[in-house]
Amino acid sequence: MKNETTLYDVYDEYPDEDELIWNYVGEIDFENLRFPINRIKIHKIVDNNFLNSFKKNSDSWQKKYVKHIVNNINKFKDIPVIVDFDNKIIVDGNHRLIGMYLSGLKYVNVIDINY
């Protein structure tokens, strides 16, 4: 896996749905700004409170997508999730994180925002 990526490599278009990243990165940076890819301990982001909140507040399609990720986890190990320095999720990668967490993964590749 590359040590750096752009948001253009991660998302289909600008902006891609209602992700919070677009509050931090403008359209010009979408294709040009490079972010380093790091590894983070997933259980420091995802815990039981997070899971319970997701189960309570998620739509049925989100729950189905989590199940899809759990069933196909080997294909999704390296999906980047963008976080800030406090390990709080900036991009809404909840379904990805939960799928990985429920599959027993302890680490996930992430992009560390340097803003």
From residue 22, alpha-carbon distances to 19, 30, 41, 52, 63 in Å are 6, 9, 25, 27, 24
> What's residue 1's pLDDT?
47
Specify the residue for token string 């919070």. 20
Residue 85 confidence (pLDDT) above 80: no
Specify the residue for token string 């590749």. 109
| Span 9-31, average pLDDT | 80
- Whole-angstrom Cα distance, residue 89 to residue 21? 10
Determine which of 19-23, 37-41, 97-101 has the lowest per-residue pLDDT on average.
19-23
Burial class (CB in 10 A: 0-12, 13-18, 19+), 85: exposed
Determine which of 5-14, 17-26, 77-86, 98-107 has the lowest per-residue pLDDT on average.
77-86
Residue 20 confidence (pLDDT) above 60: yes
pLDDT bin (cut points 50, 70, 90) of residue 88 is low
- In the chain, the amino acid numbered 31 is E
User: Looking at 8-88, which runs of residues are DSSP E strands?
Assistant: 34-41, 81-83
Long-range Cβ contacts of 103-106 (<8 Å, 24+ apart): 103/69, 103/70, 103/73, 105/42, 105/73, 105/77, 106/41, 106/42, 106/43
Distance separating the N- and C-terminal Cα atoms of the chain: 23
